[in-house]
Amino acid sequence: MKQIQAGLPILEEALASRGVPQIICVFRQPAHALLNIKKSSPGLLTQRTHRDARAFRVPGPYAKLSNVARAMDQLKDAL
């Protein structure tokens, strides 16, 4: 987690300088660090970055198919 915290300001600056409106997070821990949250479910997250970008958390490889379908439908609708 120290590496994530160390890289967070670099990531935030890179996203802000490019005006990124939506972020797709493959892993839970970086998503939580970026959004300053402790818990989330896969899918479109209600919290936004401090620069107002939306975030989507990809379901894990062992997630139930119904949860994966729901999350991916959210992503499709958001794009």
pLDDT tens string 42-74? 999 999 998 899 999 999 999 999 999 999 999
* pLDDT of amino acid 51: 86
pLDDT confidence bin for 38, thresholds 50/70/90: very high
Tell me, what's the pLDDT at 50? Answer: 86
Structure tokens of 61?
Answer: 């490889």
Q: What is the mean pLDDT of the chain?
A: 94
| Contact call for residues 30 and 49 (beta carbons, < 8 A) | no
Count of Cβ atoms closer than 10 Å to residue 38 Cβ: 6
- pLDDT given for residue 64 in this prediction: 96
- The proportion of the chain whose per-residue pLDDT surpasses 90, expressed as a percent, equals 90
DSSP string, the chain: -HHHHHHHHHHHHHHHHHT--EEEESSHHHHHHHHT-S---SEE-S---TT--EEEEPPPTTS-HHHHHHHHHHHHHH-
Which sequence spans correspond to the domains of the chain?
2-78
Assigned CATH topology for domain 2-78: Uracil-DNA Glycosylase, subunit E (3.40.470)
